[in-house]
A = this chain, B = another copy of it.
């Protein structure tokens, strides 16, 4: 199998990184806790008057570089490879690419290892990428094509209104049928 794995919210804990950065900035309202997130897009969860501050927080230098890893993710990817599957990190950078793109690579090198750098695919349209499975926390993934991958949600509170197969790094083997 060729397994495509999204980065933010699947390998890297975007939400936790945001909460930490938001707290450090000392804003007058607290960050919305993960369990109360309703939208995949963080900015949509905040009142309109806070959106500029939200975007400023995650477009700042160091934000993507310093995201904490989601426990179990690196181990799961190593195990997929050990089972003979192919793995690509398929991730959509921000349009505000200035820090995001190089820091995504730096994060992967640091948390997955330099041998994962050639496995990175950066694209805003994941339907352009071949794969058997795409593990992604985004509820609906569209683009130019009908994808050839099967979308399996990485379970997060903000995608629970969507039906369909889902997994976490605790149960991925059985969910992918790789017991």
Query: What is A's interface to B at a CB cutoff of 8 Å?
Result: 2, 86, 88, 93, 95, 97-99, 101-102, 105-106, 114, 117-125, 127-131, 144-145
Q: Roughly how many angstroms separate A98 CA and B127 CA in the complex, as a whole number?
A: 27
A124 to B123, CA, bound (A): 12
25 contacts between A and B (CB under 8 A): A2-B128, A2-B145, A88-B128, A93-B105, A95-B118, A97-B102, A97-B106, A97-B117, A99-B102, A101-B101, A101-B122, A117-B124, A119-B124, A120-B123, A121-B122, A121-B125, A121-B129, A123-B123, A123-B129, A127-B130, A128-B129, A128-B130, A128-B131, A129-B129, A130-B130
Neighbouring B residues of A145 by C-beta, 8 Å: 2, 130
Apart from A101-B101, A130-B145: 18 A-B pairs, beta carbons within 8 A: A2-B144, A88-B125, A88-B128, A95-B117, A95-B118, A101-B122, A102-B102, A117-B124, A119-B124, A120-B123, A121-B121, A121-B125, A121-B128, A123-B129, A127-B130, A129-B129, A129-B130, A130-B130
